């Protein structure tokens, strides 16, 4: 049975590929804003899992013989969900708010087959941002450009964004948006990868 990733995330794909997992990427067409709006007042784990589930189900109904991985990540700051920045100005504004503070990245992972969810997993990572200067911020955004907008926090721990972070608690893979060890365990249990 094929393993499929229901995501356009380059970071999630890179995590799977670096672990030696053979998979196909098939971005899911999901109205994420509608899902979030329907879950106003819900906790971040509920939202992350709902988004991951929608993605996994959207692809698994089209490819019923595949093990489909759906994943999503929520940035939780000041008791609110923070959405991806639309442009570099909003990215700058977000990073100024996060500077010198702590936020959480909540990840949702779902496995689905033939339109049925058969595994769910939520993870949390706590990120302490350093108190970087405006000059560093301007340089960082100029270097990263629009690519920075692909991440909800406007940073990639596996890239230059690591310089924005003072410390973090939790799984490195959770920060990357794909909590790999529990996912691999479940894929092994299901016979999707070698044990």
Catalytically annotated residue among 31, 72, 134, 179: 72
Pick the closest to residue 100 from 153, 51, 164 (CA basis).
Answer: 164
CA distances for 24 relative to 3, 59, 82, angstroms: 7, 11, 29
Asked if residues 48 and 72 have their Cβ atoms less than 8 Å apart, the reply is yes
Between CA 130 and CA 137, with CA 133 as vertex, the angle to 5 degrees is 90
Asked if residues 125 and 102 have their Cβ atoms less than 8 Å apart, the reply is no
Active site residue 72: yes
Residue 121 belongs to what H/E stretch? Answer: strand 116-129
Which residues are marked as active site? 72
């Amino acid at each position: 049975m094929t393993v499929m990733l229901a995501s356009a995330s380059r970071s999630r794909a890179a995590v799977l590929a670096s672990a030696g997992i053979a998979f196909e990427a098939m971005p899911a067409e999901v109205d994420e804003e509608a899902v979030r709006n329907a879950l106003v007042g819900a906790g971040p784990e509920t939202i992350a899992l709902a988004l991951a589930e929608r993605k996994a189900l959207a692809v698994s109904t089209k490819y019923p013989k595949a093990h489909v991985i759906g994943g999503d990540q929520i940035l939780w700051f000041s008791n609110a969900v923070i959405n991806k920045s639309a442009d570099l100005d909003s990215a700058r504004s977000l990073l100024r708010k996060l500077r010198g503070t702590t936020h959480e990245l909540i990840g949702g992972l779902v496995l689905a087959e033939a339109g049925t969810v058969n595994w769910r997993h939520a993870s949390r990572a706590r990120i302490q941002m350093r108190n970087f200067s405006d000059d560093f911020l301007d340089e960082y955004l100029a270097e990263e450009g629009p690519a920075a907008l692909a991440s909800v926090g406007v940073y990639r721990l596996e890239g230059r964004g690591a310089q924005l972070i003072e410390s973090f608690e939790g799984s490195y893979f959770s920060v990357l948006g794909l909590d790999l060890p529990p996912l691999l365990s479940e894929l092994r249990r299901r016979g999707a990868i070698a044990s």
